[in-house]
Amino acid sequence: MEKFIEISNAEFSYVNEYDDPPTKNTVLKGITLDINRGEFVAVLGHNGSGKSTLAKLLNAINLPEKGEVKIDGIPTSDEEHLYDIRRRVGMVFQNPDNQIVATVVEEDVAFALENIGVEPSEIRRRVDEALKTVGMYEYREHAPHKLSGGQKQRIAIAGVLAMQPECIVMDEPTAMLDPIGRREIMKTIRELNSAGVTIVLITHYMDEAAQAGRVVVMDSGRVIADDVPKKVFSQMEMLKSVGLDVPDVTELTHMLISDGVSLPDDIISEDECFERLYNLLKKGG
């Protein structure tokens, strides 16, 4: 597969200038990670693991102090191509209210396009297409502040989509949402990925990560696991040792296994668990 994101031995630190003398906190410690075009990668880690800092490296909000980050072959340190990088990689943050700037939905989605001088007819086409993609076209003339949290987040995603990025990095986009809003956003993410958009999802929800094609686990600024969800979540003790859980259904499976039930230890979905248990019960009589 074609590499789209290449991170090579990247380090990043925050400096607290208010301390005397200033103190330096190294958050990323030699991260090396490649993400292929069209992949859906979930990044897990407890608070302070460096996952949000990593997200900001991917469209040059942060620049590594050591090592290198390339987007579609372009180093993020290349200031002359900053627009090209941010056109390729869009960012969606945790709080949609921080990304919504207009009082009408369609005007908000059009905002960035107007700022870069896209012609009106093309803006109209892109706005309509983006809103339809996230299932919010019927709300195009509504006031964003009257929408639910999940709807606001879909508007924020539409604003990024209108820029036609090849990759969307989402930094805990469901953290402030109720279960219904979370399901709406995850459905949208899966549909975008199915359409060919590369997705990097920063999350602390195990069930969301289980829906990705690949899971990266971070701890103390380093990558400690990188594999398909089944293989990562089968390492339950390792995940718990760094303050993470596993999907509820995986924990249930391990409890049943410890009680002698013959089940594989890599079940990560409710449907698979149901099917396995149903087949066992069926065989038993």
Residue 191: per-residue pLDDT: 92
Smallest CA-to-CA distance from 28 within 49, 56, 1, 3 is with 49
Question: To the nearest whole percent, how much of the chain has pLDDT over 90?
Answer: 63
pLDDT band at residue 162, thresholds of 50, 70 and 90? very high
Tokens standing for 177?
Answer: 């949402």
Tokens standing for 78?
Answer: 């290349």
Tokens standing for 252?
Answer: 């249930």
The DSSP code for 65 is S
Residue 1: per-residue pLDDT: 73
136-147: per-residue pLDDT in tens? 999 999 999 999
213-236: per-residue pLDDT in tens? 999 999 999 999 999 999 999 888
- What's the rounded Cα separation, in Å, for the pair 50 and 218? 7
Tokens standing for 163?
Answer: 């820029």
pLDDT band at residue 285, thresholds of 50, 70 and 90? very low
Instruction: Please tell me the pTM assigned to this model.
Output: 0.89
pLDDT at 178 over 90: no
Q: Where are the beta strands (DSSP E) in the chain?
A: 3-16, 23-36, 40-44, 66-71, 74-75, 89-92, 167-171, 198-202, 214-219, 222-227
pLDDT at 148 over 80: yes
Long-range contacts (CB closer than 8 Å, 24 or more residues apart) made by 271-275: 273/249
pLDDT band at residue 127, thresholds of 50, 70 and 90? very high
**Phi, psi of 109, rounded to the nearest 5 degrees:** -65, -30
Q: Give residue 263's region: left, alpha or beta (phi > 0; psi -120 to 50).
A: beta
Residue 269: per-residue pLDDT: 84
Residue 273: per-residue pLDDT: 86
- What's the rounded Cα separation, in Å, for the pair 225 and 219? 9
Answer whether 267's CB lies under 8 Å from 273's CB: yes
Question: Where is 215: in which H helix or E strand?
Answer: strand 214-219
Smallest CA-to-CA distance from 156 within 199, 117, 102, 195 is with 102
Question: Where is 115: in which H helix or E strand?
Answer: helix 105-115
**Better-predicted residue by pLDDT, 127 or 258:** 127
- What's the rounded Cα separation, in Å, for the pair 169 and 82? 16
Domains and CATH numbers, the chain: 3-229 (3.40.50.300)
Residue 137: per-residue pLDDT: 94
Cα 55 → chain centroid: 8
Residues ≥6 apart with Cβ < 8 Å to 80: none
pLDDT band at residue 155, thresholds of 50, 70 and 90? very high
